[in-house]
Chains A and B, each alone.
Chain A
Amino acid sequence: MTSELRAPTPAHVISPEEVPGKLVAPGAEPVVRATAIEKFFADNHVLRGCSMTVYPGETITILGRSGSGKSTFLRCLNFLEEPSAGRVDIDGVAVEASPLEKRDRAAAERVRQIRLRAGMVFQEFNLFPHLSVLGNLIAAPLHVKGMSRAEAVELAEANLVRVGLAEKRDEYPNRLSGGQRQRVAIARVLTMEPKVLLFDEPTSALDPSLVGEVLKVMEDLAHEGRTMIVVTHEMAFAREAADRVYFMEAGHWVEVGPPERVVDDPREAQTRAFLARFLSERRPVPTRPDEDATPMIDPSLHPHG
């Protein structure tokens, strides 16, 4: 029987490192509770019992080398990847892993409710190429939330202003630079008004000169109190914007804590090794990206524009 094969529902334990960030109101209920997430790809054990608790307004950064499982963990949170075991609870909607059986209608609807509460920004943007920028933003509000067109357009335009692309509303995605595409993707997610934003290496596909404009938008969101979980290699972002940093290796958290602890003063040997290699392989960790030093790219000058 499948019920015997299923892992027992684990109890959620908040580890000492998971105490809420300093800005979280005392007694606040967590927005995200991921409990003992396991993931196998065939017999490859990718996630080994990862839990995470995120409180309203917190920005979490997940660090780790490529292939450590950090993107898989993020994708398990909104069930783009089916966890092999564990439970995800976002804003009061809880879904258990169901690796062996198709979900019944009610459980499938709960997955959709989780996705409505957790907006995801992808590495490859995944804008809809057949729709204009505005079309990308209003598609889900119109066809998922059943919003009126006027209402959706108003909301979309406000979010385009927020990412600094109001004048691009009628362009098509392939006429935009990579940085602009990612900012549109962020605006598209914001237009659904999710409770938590999931970023899956949002700057990894970008030309280095375009990374700044995207990070700037993300930092603004973090500072205005959005709840965010960010998988990234941008150490400066982790240091400046994150309330807590999770460091993953081989499918589990090696070290969790505030950035000044995990990034600047790591205790675990694995974290140190990662940071050392990271520093030697990549460009030096920049200090807070100077806003004047990363000007908005004039689209007319951009080679891909």
Chain B
Amino acid sequence: MSVPAGSTMADPGTEALGALIQRVDQRRNTSWRIKFLAMWLAIVIGLVAFVALTVKLDADFINGWAPFILAGVPVTLFIAAVSITLAIVLAAIGALGRLSGNPFFNGIASFYVSFFRGTPLLLQILFLFLALPQAGIVLDPLPTAIIALGFNYGAYMTEIFRAGIEAVPHGQVEAAQSLGMNGRTTFQRIVLPQAFRIVTPAIGNDFVAMLKDSSLAYVVGVQELLWRAQAAGRPTFQSMQTMLVAALVYWIMTILFSFIQNRLERRMASGDRATRRR
């Protein structure tokens, strides 16, 4: 620790204090992390013990039915992926409507948002499946789930997209227009790329939420993860095992996608070098 001559920091006692503070801080951090992990471990051990003590864990049963349950994973992923795509398209149109000066477009968009956010998703699924046939419209289970999820999430995302577009500072629009850009070019080249960066994290969050809400497709008989778990468990009263398997799979999927989402966001942030460098 060389101290330049004439510096007021020459006191070696002060140097030692700095090092001591650093050591104590590090020790405190390490001990915090150990306790944190210990807590997780304790909960997991407790849960496993509870299951082991209350129900007879039947390894053969799980091994036998696991492939059947896991076959629901691609179905779940498919529902979530198609629904989120539909939701993004609807939200893009909805957001344009909500931002439109045209009272008719704006009215349609705001009715859409209000209705689909104001009624339960489960009701929307059942409505499509049970009520529409009365009007002569009969949908298969899979399209029913995808349409309901897409429209419901689209309504929420409409507001997210609108907020994202409005979050682009007005000075950006003024700069573009003062350079002679017309409304369309300004929107495409200046506003949209910036709004897209703002809403990307929200789209990721919604996709993770959608993974779990896709389980509602169970009520109309789509053979996704949850449907298979209950179908496997119910006849033999082994639902504890099958439900735990399903829960674990959902959990792993959400952790995985949250991780991917994090990586993507960090990549985007460093890609345009906007705001997050330090």
Contact = CB atoms under 8 A, between A and B. Distances in A.
Bound pair (A, B): yes
A141 to B, nearest CB: 9
B273 A175 contact: yes
Interface string B156-171: 0000000000000101
Contact of B177 (A115, A139, A174): A115
Interface in B166-201: 169, 171-172, 174-182, 185, 189-190, 193-194, 197
Contact of B178 (A115, A128, A143): A115
Interface residues of B, number: 23
Given A128-B190, A130-B272, A144 B185 contact: yes
A78 B190 CA distance: 19
Interface in A113-153: 115-116, 118-120, 122, 124, 126-130, 139-140, 143-145
B274 interface: yes
Interface in A155-182: 172, 174-175
A80 interface: yes
Contacts of A140: 176, 179-181
Contacts of B169: 126
A126 B172 contact: yes
Contacts of A145: 180
A112 interface: yes
A14 B194 CA distance: 45
Given A129-B274, A144-B185, A192 B174 contact: no
B277 to A, nearest CB: 8
Interface string A226-252: 000000000000000000000000000
B272 A129 contact: yes
Contacts of B273: 172, 174-175
A188 interface: yes
A113 to B, nearest CB: 8
B179 A188 contact: yes
A144 B180 contact: yes
B233 to A, nearest CB: 50
Interface residues of A, number: 26
B79 to A, nearest CB: 33
Contacts of A120: 174-175, 178
Contacts of A188: 179
Nearest to B274: A129
A144 B272 contact: no
Q: Which among A78, A116, A128 has the greatest number of chain B C-beta atoms within 10 A?
A: A128
B264 to A, nearest CB: 16
Q: Which of B179, B181, B193 has the most CB of A within 10 A?
A: B179
B180 A174 contact: no
Given A126-B171, A128-B190, A144 B179 contact: yes
Contacts of A139: 179, 189-190
B102 interface: no
B275 A126 contact: no
Nearest to A129: B274
A112 B183 CA distance: 10
Contact of B175 (A116, A126, A143, A175): A126
Contacts of B197: 130
B274 A130 contact: yes
B274 A126 contact: no
B174 A80 contact: yes
Nearest to B182: A112
Contact of B272 (A112, A122, A172, A189): A172
A115 B179 contact: yes
A143 B272 contact: no
A127 B274 CA distance: 12
A139 B194 CA distance: 15
A142 B6 CA distance: 59
Interface of B: 169, 171-172, 174-182, 185, 189-190, 193-194, 197, 272-275, 277
Interface of A: 78, 80, 112, 115-116, 118-120, 122, 124, 126-130, 139-140, 143-145, 172, 174-175, 188-189, 192
29 contacts: A78-B178, A115-B177, A115-B178, A115-B179, A115-B180, A116-B180, A118-B178, A119-B178, A119-B179, A120-B174, A126-B169, A126-B171, A126-B174, A128-B172, A128-B194, A129-B272, A130-B193, A130-B194, A130-B274, A139-B190, A140-B179, A140-B181, A143-B185, A144-B179, A144-B180, A172-B272, A174-B273, A174-B277, A188-B179
Given A130-B197, A144-B179, 5 more contacts: A78-B178, A118-B178, A139-B179, A144-B180, A192-B180
Nearest first, the 9 closest Cβ-Cβ pairs linking A and B are: A126-B175, A140-B179, A116-B180, A120-B178, A172-B273, A126-B171, A144-B180, A130-B193, A115-B180
